[in-house]
Structure 1
Amino acid sequence: MTSPPARRPAVPRHRWILAVVLVALAASPVALRYLVFWPLDQWQVDVDVYRQAGVSILTGRPVYSAMTEAPQLLPFTYPPFAAFLGIPLALIPFGVVGWLWTAMQVVATTAIVWYAGRALLARSGSWLPLALAALTAPMLWLHPVGDGIRFGQVNAFIVLACVMDLVEPRPRLARWLPKGALIGLAMAVKLTPGVFVVHFLLTRRWKEAATAVASAAVATLLAAAVLPGTSWTYWTFALRDPTRLGPNAGTANQSVRGFLLRLGPEGLPGTVIWLVVVAGIAWVGFRLAARMYRAGDPVGELAVVGIVACLVSPVSWVHHYHWVVVVVLALLGARPWEERHRLWAAAAVTVFFTLRLPWWGIDWLAQRDWPQWPGRMLQNADVAGGLACLALLWWSARRRDRETGAGAGAGADPDVEARPSSPALA
């Protein structure tokens, strides 16, 4: 006779209320900086891009020709399906949209911590709400998260969709969908989650790969059915025009390609070097992600694939590194107080990505009489930070394999299918 499942300890309602207040207080410095004290001509410029796409659909103007108001003059650069997300925003005053979008990003980041940190949070008992708030607060101060709030970006929602898709137990909202469906919808909004399809194929998860591609294709075809001309413009012109994304060599592009564009060489030699470097990063990263998958560590798996996407993508703005939230939780694991190396690693990543080092580099390089190399190092700090995240995740996985005696299987070929045991939630 099986014993009934243990009941979760009752959580007093006032602790949930206090947790909401604490998260709001933690978000307030970022929100005040970018929503109250920020110049109006730079206010929530990226969510305005989505909103204007919605206006274009409602008014019949060309989606990919319209620009936001001066001085930004930003075009819509995302797939046509993403333009439909702007329709509800077009029905709301822009001032309200900025505050609403910020609140939604805070909620999404909190949800990422909830789902990705569930193994750790489950140990807090009736103090779970305050533990959740304590974990979420420093995540809201990360430079990538703050930049997402500054511009009104979508990366918090992209990361949340991927986390809800793969971390077990899946939330009720996603449980009725096959695995890969939410990642596919994220691909229809932004192309970068497509890196998960490569990961699925390398780990021989044919169903998840097919589901992701199918859901992205259905969303894309529905958009094409409603807006055929717009879809044709995107896939034949807008997608291939890198100038629509902004200056690829600017400091905000913290991909390997951005790093090489800033340092050279230019032209074909630079392209060859970039392809060789990203191929090496992808090879190491996908092997590590497969290792995490076989170990039943979906949070570590997500963290690795997300950071690989940031590094190998031609353009990865600072806010694309919202994946650092998942990295921190993957490093913490379920019992960081028993494995102090996890605490130190997670703390180091959190501090590093809170410091806004690329902008320190800009300030340094502005001093003409100072040596340039320290400024260049700071300017490319997030690229180095992404590589350090992969190294720390590999180090953590290796220590875990040693402690559990799983080292023999950890180096196995990732092309060999090996379904993991139940997710590491214990």
Structure 2
Amino acid sequence: MSATRSRWSWLESPVIPVLVLLVSLCLHPLVMAQGVDGFRMIDLRVYVAGPLHLGDGMLYSFLTPKEDLPFTYPPFAAMVFWPLAQLPFAAAAVIWQVLSVILVACSLYLTLRLLGKTGPGGHWAAPLVRGVVLFGTAVALWVEPVRTTFNYGQINLLLMTVLLLGAVATKDWVAGVTVGLTAGIKLIPAVTGLFYLLSRRFSAVAAAVATFVATGLLALLVVPDLTGRYFTELIFEPERTGVVAAVRNQSLRGAIDRLAGEDSTVLWAVAVVGVIVLGILAAVGSLRAGDRLAAFLAVQFIGLEISPISWNHHWVWVLPLVLWCWCGPRRAERAVQWLAGSWAVVTLAFLMPLLAAQEARTWGAGEPLALWVRLLGAVYPVLGIATLVVLLTVGRRAVAAATQVPATA
């Protein structure tokens, strides 16, 4: 504790973290606007257009005017976005951007809660918590998944914050409701139920299932045809969200298809089983070591890996992971330090825009992707697997160390 304070004492300043955040907030839109996707908020346009087609039955048929993007979420999501759709797009965009900044800060704070640094029983002083949250928010704006979430007007930060809120909740029904609601909006957060299942919090699992079913029943009541079509047909068509082999798809499926040069369903299925087993072992080991955040992250990384589509902006879970690496219970481990450094380099290097630009050139010329593009294009899923390996290793080491102390005594 004292070592952390002496090393990072400047974070407790009432001025420095605020100034850093203000500079970052000013520079971020200026720099991002120069990019290809800079603040076009193409996904937000889909969100606000979707609710307008709930009544005419065109929810899954319409395309946004300029980008030709479809609505790919469950009908319940369109109902959630309805209030935002009543505003002029400029107003909705400003609100969404401001909300996204707040959500970054909230997610960092909730991560510190899970680490026991703040909140009930927390042992960090309030100035240090404030400084870490403010400085962390300033840096997070430049991390690739967060950057693109802002550029596209994506919903990832909202889903992550809600799930973290459930993770720090003391009541199981609250935790379960957060899983059910987020899964009702975008299916993949349902994987979070695995964390509560492994934690033997069965009432949270039951609440998650009940809430998710309730979102489906509500949608079925309001738009029965659209709901039936989504859950019987569209849910099995991941290509509706984009080209699976596109380099921005940083799922295991996307990486394997690019490396193989073709659709490799069997290889992907085998890899999925391996990742699920590895992730469960990592989560169980972390829980036995008393590291709830590590277990929670292991489950989230399972979801990122096994989903057919995990765009680079889906990987916002890198934020709590790096914070765990920096101030978590295993921060002294060399593997944890290397993991944090690797994710920092990859996500701050503007790698994805470079690969996407090269991909566009080769596809435009009718040529296959270069080997270096395919290899670098697998960096997120490879690092994701490395993350699960590290979580498993340090968790087991912590359990072994804890059992050796009583035996020696």
TM interval, short-chain normalised: 0.7 to 0.9
Q: Does 1:110 align with 2:133?
A: no
Distance 1:48 1:135, change over 3 A: same
Q: Select 2:392's aligned residue among 394, 419, 423.
A: 394
Distance 1:21 1:63, change over 3 A: farther
Q: TM-score, normalised by structure 2?
A: 0.83
Look up the equivalent residue of 2:50 and give its one-letter code. A
Q: Tell me how far apart the structure 2 counterparts of residues 407 and 86 of structure 1 sit (CA, whole Å).
A: 53
Residue 4 of structure 2: aligned partner: none
Shift of 1:345: 3.7
Q: Secondary structure of the residue that 2:70 maps to in structure 1?
A: coil
Q: Secondary structure of the residue that 2:174 maps to in structure 1?
A: coil
Residue 44 of structure 2: aligned partner: 47
Look up the equivalent residue of 2:76 and give its one-letter code. F
Look up the equivalent residue of 2:158 and give its one-letter code. F
Look up the equivalent residue of 2:135 and give its one-letter code. A
Look up the equivalent residue of 2:193 and give its one-letter code. V
Q: Tell me how far apart the structure 2 counterparts of residues 287 and 344 of structure 1 sit (CA, whole Å).
A: 21
Residue 201 of structure 2: aligned partner: 205
Q: Secondary structure of the residue that 1:304 maps to in structure 2?
A: helix
Q: Do 1:23 and 1:137's aligned partners in 2 also have CA atoms closer than 8 Å? A: yes
Distance 1:384 1:117, change over 3 A: same
Look up the equivalent residue of 1:291 and give its one-letter code. G
Shift of 1:75: 0.8
Question: Pairwise CA RMSD of aligned residues?
Answer: 3.1
Q: Secondary structure of the residue that 1:164 maps to in structure 2?
A: helix
Q: Select 1:100's aligned residue among 95, 109, 112.
A: 95
Q: TM-score, normalised by structure 1?
A: 0.80
Q: Tell me how far apart the structure 2 counterparts of residues 364 and 250 of structure 1 sit (CA, whole Å).
A: 11
Q: Do 2:324 and 2:331's aligned partners in 1 also have CA atoms closer than 8 Å? A: no
Distance 1:407 1:331, change over 3 A: farther
Look up the equivalent residue of 1:239 and give its one-letter code. I
Shift of 1:244: 1.5
Q: Secondary structure of the residue that 1:178 maps to in structure 2?
A: helix
Q: Do 1:55 and 1:86's aligned partners in 2 also have CA atoms closer than 8 Å? A: no
Distance 1:178 1:128, change over 3 A: closer
Q: Do 1:195 and 1:305's aligned partners in 2 also have CA atoms closer than 8 Å? A: yes
Shift of 1:39: 6.4
Shift of 1:126: 3.1
Q: Tell me how far apart the structure 2 counterparts of residues 289 and 373 of structure 1 sit (CA, whole Å).
A: 34
Q: Do 1:254 and 1:383's aligned partners in 2 also have CA atoms closer than 8 Å? A: yes
Q: Tell me how far apart the structure 2 counterparts of residues 91 and 114 of structure 1 sit (CA, whole Å).
A: 31
Residue 165 of structure 1: aligned partner: 166
Shift of 1:24: 4.3
Shift of 1:88: 1.3
Deviations 1:244-274 (A, max 9, x none): 111111011111110122122635xx21111
Could you list the runs of 5+ residues in structure 1 that have no partner in the other structure?
1-13, 409-426
Q: Secondary structure of the residue that 1:123 maps to in structure 2?
A: coil
Q: Do 2:283 and 2:295's aligned partners in 1 also have CA atoms closer than 8 Å? A: yes
Deviations 1:2-48 (A, max 9, x none): xxxxxxxxxxxx977875564343244333344x4466997101011
Q: Select 2:81's aligned residue among 77, 81, 86.
A: 86
Shift of 1:347: 3.5
Shift of 1:99: 2.2
Q: Do 2:172 and 2:204's aligned partners in 1 also have CA atoms closer than 8 Å? A: no
Shift of 1:123: 1.9
Distance 1:53 1:146, change over 3 A: same
Look up the equivalent residue of 1:272 and give its one-letter code. V
Matched ranges for 1:264-413 at <5 A: 264=260, 266-267=262-263, 270-334=264-328, 342-343=336-337, 345-362=339-356, 372-405=370-403
Look up the equivalent residue of 1:385 and give its one-letter code. L
Deviations 1:42-93 (A, max 9, x none): 7101011110012223x645211122112x1111100111001221111111
Shift of 1:402: 4.5
Residue 190 of structure 1: aligned partner: 186
Distance 1:394 1:357, change over 3 A: farther
Look up the equivalent residue of 2:211 and give its one-letter code. S
| Deviates further, 14-23 or 203-212 | 14-23
Shift of 1:316: 0.6
Seq. identity, % = 28
Aligned length: 384
| Deviates further, 356-365 or 188-197 | 356-365
Shift of 1:283: 0.3
